[in-house]
Structures are given as structure tokens and as C-alpha cells.
Amino acid sequence: MWLHLFSVNTGGVRVPSLKNHMIQNNDFLKTYFSESYLPPHQRIKWYYRILRFLIVYPAMMLMVISVLDNRSNDEAYTDCLYRDQCSSYCQADVFPDTTCKNMPNVSLKYNGNTYKKLYKYPAINTDEYRHCKDRLDNNPDYPWSDSDHRQWRVHTCFRSCRYPGEVDDNFDEDTREECAKSTDSFGHDYYEFDLWCVDPDDSCEKPEWWDETCSGGDLCLSFAVIWFGILIANFGQVLIECSLYYTLNITYKPTEIERKMNPVKNEQRFTLEEEPPCDKVLKKCFSELIIAFSSIVVVLALIVSMIAEYQYGRPATVWVEWVIAMAIDQAKSLLIQPFLWWFIVRRCGRIPPSFGVWKDEQVMPGITDESYLNELRGIVARFLETKPAAFFMIGIVFFYAIFILCSLSLDTYYSGNQGAQDFFDYVDKILITYFMAEIVVRYVGSGIIYFLNLWNFIDFAVVLVSFVFMWMGQSITGIAVLRLLRLIRVIIVMRRVSESKKRLLKLRNQNQSVSSNVARAMDLLEEIINEKSLTRATKQDVAWVLEHVKSRKLYTSSINQNQVDESSAEVKAWKNFIINDYEDFQGSHIVQGQKNLGDKILKRSRQSSVDAKMFETQKYVEKVNGVFTSPSMDREPLEPEKLTEIDETLEKINDWNWDLMKFASVTGELCFPILCLKLFLKYDVYKSFDDINHDKWLNYLSALYMGYTFQNPYHRPEHILDTVHATHYFYKTAGFETLLTTQDIVIGFVAAFIHDYEHPGLTNQFLIRTKHPKAIRYSDMSPLEEHHVAAAFKLMHSDNEFDIFDFVVDEASKRLIRKMIIYMVIHTDLTYHFEMVNGIQAKILSDQFPKDTVEDRLDIMTFALHCADICKPARSWFIYRMWIDNMMEEFFLQGKMEKELGIPVSAFMDEESTNKERVQLTYIDYIVKESLDILNIISPSPDYENVIQRDLIESLNLNRRNLQKKIDGEVKF
């Protein structure tokens, strides 16, 4: 209540006696006594006062203390959560059994802990089992409790047996049997064992605070928790009660005192039926929502924290600390409230107490008064306008300008001197802290109006970000970001010096989205570069910023920009240690083992059809053909006549309307390896990689083919062949191969072949809504695409005969290949569509795109694969019509499944209400058309005669017109 009187105009005439002040501000007393000191519209009924008391005082205090007690030891709490994880893994692995087998008669004594609630996790060859098995290595390393000389009670699993002759001193009493020896197919001995895992319901290590004193058992006492709990709960209580007073003060009709203050309104005879002002309705509704939301959060947080306390914590400790906190808080209130009454309510004793019960006549004279808060703000504002304060602040600004300029100019020289670097860092922190304090003081003097000024708000944003980054440290924020902030601070200081009342140059807020505002950001930076008052050095720095905005590298490491001796082995080691794994997309990279054929590899020149034939030497053609005609235990060799027939189907593969279905029917189960190995001949892959193993590619692609679901109407092997052909068309016919290396082309085709591996014929949204194991495993983040690429790599590494990249000799190249494939496949998820479109558009704005870097080439490959995946509406009408039926059939199958499960049917999935043609028309307009337009822009025209426009976009427009005619009823098909 004292804070309310501090901020309202009538506070000067509503000064209560000390007794009444204690009643108004004591949680128990203001609940018991009626609120006669408030205006009638702000008073609440006794049952609401009880509810308010319960939520904002005991419930909030208990919630805060229980949360603090639970969070006092995150490590123990986190380790105990692995029990729930392994229990879930076990239940999934033993499915269709509903639960894992409990072992009530088994107990383990390990480092002072006795575990009796155990269950059996059988040895199953799954990643989940191995994950829980890996937890065994952590058992001896957990911390020990100093109070009772035992290890923390956070263990997850144990071996169900002991190795022959093993003596594990960690077991106080080892009753386990010896493990049975097994022999694998190579004659090697190994031990296979089940896991005995701790039930999640078993007790866990209890959290402790550093100042706790325990009296035995679970009863401990921490005054740190008590005092933190009091402070946090008091802060939450103030927020909720202030919101409540604000809400109650908003009335739809004039109050009685307002009628008396303005008789004209009284004569207008406002009625209940009169519609209240819209702004008041919105304010009151929003305030009520905040109060309701806050109350619900308090109650729910209390319930959750107490459940966790009873399961993992010490409920007795929480209850004792809560009682003590309540007692201390009441004692604190008795001691502090008299001071608040004298300093705040009575305004340092200047106003005598004379208010008891609300009377309009007594309050009306104070309506035009100034609140004590505004009075103090006026004092602060006048102080800031005094000459000493103004000269002091201008002097700090001049000093900071000189300091920052010196820091930038001497950065190269003192970067190796730790003492000088520490000096500059400490001075910078002190000055930024001063500017932060100055903004706080100015806010106190001006209120929220201070931030309504755009320049003041930007000043606050930049200083706040600089303040946070300075105390976080350069290693957290990144060199590029700190350099950008230092540049901005230089411009800020120049603005302060040149215009005393304007503190900042008009800069964009640094929290904008690059993808949606990149053009505006570049325009602003170019305006700064053209500013005549800037020095040449500053303009160069701004140009550096502009270049990084264009290339989307603001948040990547700029270690390569530092003037250090990169020939040093130590420097190279540290650079490789701290660089982000994905930042090597920015540089050029050649796979080790690839022959360097000059421009044919690093930047492929266009080849005529005659040149391409020359590259397809008879040596490599015979080698590829020999893979399929040689006898094998797993398959029948192809006859020469069959191989000739296959070659005839591939003659027009460079054309957009290549007969894919004929090829699929002729090649059968060998369609994937035949298409891939034959395409490699067209790109001179075998000349670049002599050691490529054709048999492994045949084995892997054949196994990959069997992993696609033939029952799927749409996501079946023919869809993959279509995507691979479209990728080839973009590379070869549309000329994108001139922008790529041979390594890139191999990666691009592999990504195309695996991008829908093991697709179930359902959407990501369906998996997420039904809580499918794949959605749970990948945290609802592109579960299908995550599974496609993970399963494909798992297959690749499951057998040495599937290791298609064995010709890559170094691990760095293998990691790069893997990352590029993962990146491409994940981005086939349509949720990344607009992100990719915006990213490509941002790069197109740069006149240097595409550059010969891994980053730019990967962007081209990823976008080309995305277009290849969605470009069926650009096929000939006959082919496209077939794919429409297949796509919609798969949609409708999912819709039927959703109906059977009793969940809402997804968009486009209800066969009874969905118009196929409208769905496809929207798909073309919303997704496909824009993608192909951008692909056409970045294609190497005019050398390739604008083939995307000729073959794809014109066909797309024709198909769109056919769909529109069908919708309008002009044609039937």
C-alpha cells in the first residue's frame, strides 16, 4: 500500500496514522480488516482478500523456497533424471511388453548406498541400451557426501554380473554372479550382460546449500534460502498487488469522486447500458489477464516444485524454512514499515497523519497534487540540468571518445600484452557501467517518457548490450560481435560530442531479423558510409560491417582477421579448437584423395557434348558395366542385351521430360545404383577419384532402395528417381556444375538419394501430434528429415561393404562431407522453405554471389535439392497429373488414419472435403513458383540459354492454367 501512495497524486492527503499504516501494509491485518481506506471501486470482498493473501503471500513464499531448495544442486537433480530416461528406453526396447521386469528380491550396496528398487534392462543391440550402458562408467566418479561418508545417491544402472576374477571395491557387498562368456563369428570372446537399473521412484541425492546446517535425516536449515525466498517473494507480491490496484482503478463509468470533480459528467447520466470506452476495456482486460496468469503461474509452480520436492528433495526442510521465512518476514515488516511510513508516506515527516477512512471531500483537494514519485523525479531531473552535472557528463563523453579511439587504434599492439589488455578492459567496463547508471538516473528523472524518445531508446539498447557483453566476456560474445559493438559505440560518442542533446546516431536496433530486414540494414550502413563527417578509417570499418551483413557472417568467428602468426602450430591448434564445426562451410575445401585437375575441379568450365563423351573413356564405362555384368552371390548378373536396353533409356537423361518410369521398369531393383554410377560418368567422377569402390556403391544403393516403402503412393523409389533426375538436370543441363566441384556433385547426388529414406508416408505434423517415437527422439524438430539422414548414415556404417566414402583418406574431409549431406537433407523440410528463400535473396543482393567457397556452393546445392524435391508441378502435364493423384492419395490415407485415431484431420487430408486442384494451385503459388524463379535467377545464364525458364517455369504456368480451368469447370479430366 505504501508503494501505491508513493505513486498516486492523492498520496499527500491520504497519510494514515502509524497504526493504520501497519494495518494497511501487514499481510495478515489487511486481509482481516475491511479496506475502508480505499475508494469504493478499489475495495474487494473478504473472500477475495483471503484468496489474494493465500496466493501472494504463503503460496508464493512456499513456491519460491521450494524452487530454491530444488535448484540448489542441479548436478544431482540432473543425474537422477537419467533414471527416467533409461526407464523410458527400456520400455521402448521391450515393446510389446508394457513394462520392464522388476526385481523385488535383488538389492545392491554400492559406496554406502543400498538400492532395492531395481528393474532389469535386457541386453538389446540398440542405441538406447548402449546409452544407458555408458552410464556405468560414471558410477565410481560421482561426488561423495561429507556428512555421512557415502557417494551421492544418483546412480542409474549397474552390470547384472561381474567379470571373472573381478573385485570391485565400490560394492560394499557384491552378490552378483559371474558373467557368461560368448564367442562371436570371428572367434573373439566377449561378455554380454543385462543392466540392473534403478527405478525412477527410488530416492535420489538430496540437494544442499552451502550454509546448511542439518540436525539429522532430511531436516536442514539454510538462511540463504530463507533470505533469497523473502526477497523474491516480496518482489512478486509487490508486482501482483500493484497490478491489482491498477486494474481496480480502471472503471467503465465515472466514479463518485469523478462525478463530484466534474459535474458535467454527472449531468450526462451515464447508464449501465452505455458501451464503455474501448481503451479502458483493453487496459482492464489486459491487466486482469496478467493477474490471472501470474496467479496461475504461482500455483502451478508451487504444485510442480512440491511434487519434485517430495520425490527428489527434502519436504521437511522446505516446510521448516517456509515457517521461519514467514516469521522473519513479519518481523522485518514490523521493523521496516515505520521507516517507510516516515520517509515515503509522510515524505520525510513533512505531512502530518490525518487520514483514516476514505471520504471524497477529504481526498478531492489532493487530486491535483503531485505524487511523491513525480516530486522526486523532478528533483533528479533538475539536478541533471545543473551545470556541474552537465559538465561532468560531457567530460566523461569526451574521455570515452578518446579512450575508444585509442583502444581501436592500439588494439593490434596491446593484443599480446596481458597487462595492457586488462587495463583497457577494466576501464571500458567502468565507463560502460557509468553510462548504464546514467541511463537509470535519467529514467528516474523522466519516467517512461525517457524511452519514448527514439534516440534515448537506442542509446539504452546499445549501452545495455555493451554492458552485458562486457561482463560476459569476449569468449562468449564472439570477436565479430564485439567489434561491431565497438564501432557502434564510436559512432555514439561522436554523436554525443557533436550534438549535446542528441546522444546517438540513428542506427538500427541490433535485434532485427537479418532474413527479413537485411535490405534495410544494408541501406542504413551505406548511408553511414556516405556520411561526410566520418573519417576514412571509420568508413572502412563500416564497410567491413556491411560486407559481413551481406555475407551473413555477423555471428561467426573472426579469428582469421586477427593479425597473428598463423604459421605457428599453436595458433593453428587453437584456431581449430575454438572454430565452430559449421564455419568451415565458409572456406574452400577439397576432399583429400581427389585429383587436382585445375579448373576442372575447383571451378568446372562448361563442356560440350563432344568433350563430355571424351571424358567418358572406355576404361571407366567398362568398369561400371562390369559391376553389373559380373557374377555375384547376392544377385544375378545382367546380360549384355539388358545393359544395352538400360543405356538406351538413359540417352535422353539430360532432357527435362526424360522417361523415368521406363527406366524404373527396365532396371528394377538396380535402378538406384545404375542411375548413380552412370551419372558419375557424366561428371568425370572416376577421373577425380581413382579409388572409388563401385561394388560398395552398388551394395549401399541397393540396400538404400530396399529401405523405401513401396506401398507409399508418393514417397516411394520413383519419387527418389525423380528428385535425382531433377538434381542432375540442374547440375548438367542448367549449368550449375560450373559452380561446383566434383566433390560437391557426389555429395549432392548422395543427399538426393537418401533424402526420404524410410519415409513412412506421413507428415512431420502427424508424428508430432501422435507423439511418435521419432518425434520424441528428435524433439519435434524435423523428425522425418532427421531420421532419413540418421538412418542412411547408420546403414552406411553398419557394414564395411556399404562404406561408399572409403576413398576419402582424411577424417576432416569425411566430417565435412557428412555435415554437408546432413545440412542438405534437413533443409528438405518445408519448414525451412522461407528461411532458404530469404537467405538466397539476401545473398543475391551481394554482387559477389556465388563465390567459390564451400558456404556458397552448399547454399546452391541445398536450394537445388529443395527445388528438385518440389518441382513435380513443373513436369509435363501427363507426369504431373500422375504425381497429383499419388500425393493426394497419400494425404487421404493419413486423413483416414487421423479419423480412426480421433484426432483433428490435417489440412488437405480429408478426402471428403478437399479439392485436389485447389490444393495443387496453392502449392504452386505459395511454394514452387517462387523457388523456381529464384533458381532461374542464380542459374549460370545466359550460357545455358535460360533453360529453367524454358523447360520448368513455362511448363509450370501451363499446368497452373490447366488446374484453374478444372476448378472453373471449363475442362474435365
Alpha-carbon distance 58 to 410, whole Å? Answer: 58
Predicted structure pTM score = 0.46
Burial category of 414 from C-beta neighbours within 10 Å (exposed 0-12, middle 13-18, buried 19 and up): middle
- Confidence grade of residue 523 (pLDDT, cut at 50, 70, 90): low
- Sketch the domain layout of the chain as residue ranges: 375-561, 606-968
606-968, CATH topology level: Catalytic domain of cyclic nucleotide phosphodiesterase 4b2b (1.10.1300)
Work out the average pLDDT over 776-789. Answer: 93
728 is catalytic: no
Q: What are phi and psi of 183, to 5 degrees?
A: -125, 130
Alpha-carbon distance 813 to 588, whole Å? Answer: 12
Distance of CA 257 to the CA centre of its chain: 53
With a cut of 50, say whether residue 520 has pLDDT above it.
yes
Residue with cell 543441363: 733
> 931 is written with which cell numbers?
523457388
Work out the average pLDDT over 665-688. Answer: 91
For residue 262, the model assigns a pLDDT of 59
Alpha-carbon distance 197 to 80, whole Å? Answer: 12
- Give the pairing of strands 161-162 and 177-178: parallel
For residue 419, the model assigns a pLDDT of 75
With a cut of 90, say whether residue 266 has pLDDT above it.
no
Distance of CA 560 to the CA centre of its chain: 27
For residue 377, the model assigns a pLDDT of 75
Q: pLDDT tens-digit profile of 527-584?
A: 676 655 566 667 677 777 767 666 555 544 444 444 445 555 554 544 454 444 444 4
- Give the pairing of strands 161-162 and 150-151: unpaired
Alpha-carbon distance 830 to 763, whole Å? Answer: 11
For residue 708, the model assigns a pLDDT of 94
For residue 474, the model assigns a pLDDT of 46
Q: Are 877 and 958 in contact, with CB atoms under 8 Å apart? A: yes
Binding residues for AMP: 715-719, 756, 869, 920
Residue of 21, 715, 759, 827 marked catalytic: 715
Stronger pLDDT, 821 or 591, i.e. the higher one: 821
Burial 652-667 (b: 16+ CB within 10 A, else e): ebeebebebeebbebb
Q: pLDDT tens-digit profile of 330-340?
A: 898 888 888 88
Q: Give the angle 713-718-720 at the CA atoms, nearest 5°.
A: 110
* Sign of the CA dihedral running 641, 643, 647, 649: positive
Q: In what helix (H) or strand (E) does residue 178 lie, and over which residues does it extend?
A: strand 177-178
Provide DSSP, 828-841.
Answer: TSGGGHHHHHHHHH
Q: pLDDT tens-digit profile of 360-376?
A: 777 776 666 667 777 77
Q: In what helix (H) or strand (E) does residue 932 lie, and over which residues does it extend?
A: helix 929-938
- Give the pairing of strands 150-151 and 144-145: antiparallel
For residue 441, the model assigns a pLDDT of 84
What end-to-end distance do the CA atoms of the chain give, in Å?
76
Alpha-carbon distance 522 to 516, whole Å? Answer: 12
For residue 415, the model assigns a pLDDT of 62
Of 45, 55, 56, the C-alpha closest to 1 is 56
- Confidence grade of residue 522 (pLDDT, cut at 50, 70, 90): low
| Residue 861 amino acid letter | M
Characterise 254 by phi-psi region: left (phi > 0), alpha (psi -120 to 50), beta (else).
Answer: beta
Binding residues: 715-719, 755-756, 869, 920
- Under DSSP, is residue 169 helix (H, G, I), strand (E, B) or coil? coil
Mean pLDDT computed over every residue of the chain:
78
With a cut of 90, say whether residue 866 has pLDDT above it.
yes
Q: What secondary structure letter does DSSP report for 115? A: E
For residue 552, the model assigns a pLDDT of 55
Alpha-carbon distance 270 to 252, whole Å? Answer: 10
Binding residues for Zn(2+): 719, 755-756, 869
Determine how many CB atoms are found less than 10 A away from the CB of residue 16: 23
| Residue 410 amino acid letter | L
For residue 715, the model assigns a pLDDT of 94
For residue 175, the model assigns a pLDDT of 84
Alpha-carbon distance 188 to 11, whole Å? Answer: 88
For residue 462, the model assigns a pLDDT of 74
With a cut of 90, say whether residue 497 has pLDDT above it.
no
Q: pLDDT tens-digit profile of 604-635?
A: 333 433 444 444 467 788 888 888 887 765 67
> 910 is written with which cell numbers?
480429408
Q: pLDDT tens-digit profile of 921-939?
A: 989 988 999 899 888 888 8
- Confidence grade of residue 248 (pLDDT, cut at 50, 70, 90): confident
Rg (CA), the chain: 36
Alpha-carbon distance 869 to 725, whole Å? Answer: 10
Q: pLDDT tens-digit profile of 704-763?
A: 999 999 999 999 999 999 999 999 999 998 889 988 999 999 999 999 999 999 999 999
% helix, strand, coil for the chain, step of 5: 65, 5, 30
| Residue 690 amino acid letter | D
Stronger pLDDT, 595 or 496, i.e. the higher one: 496
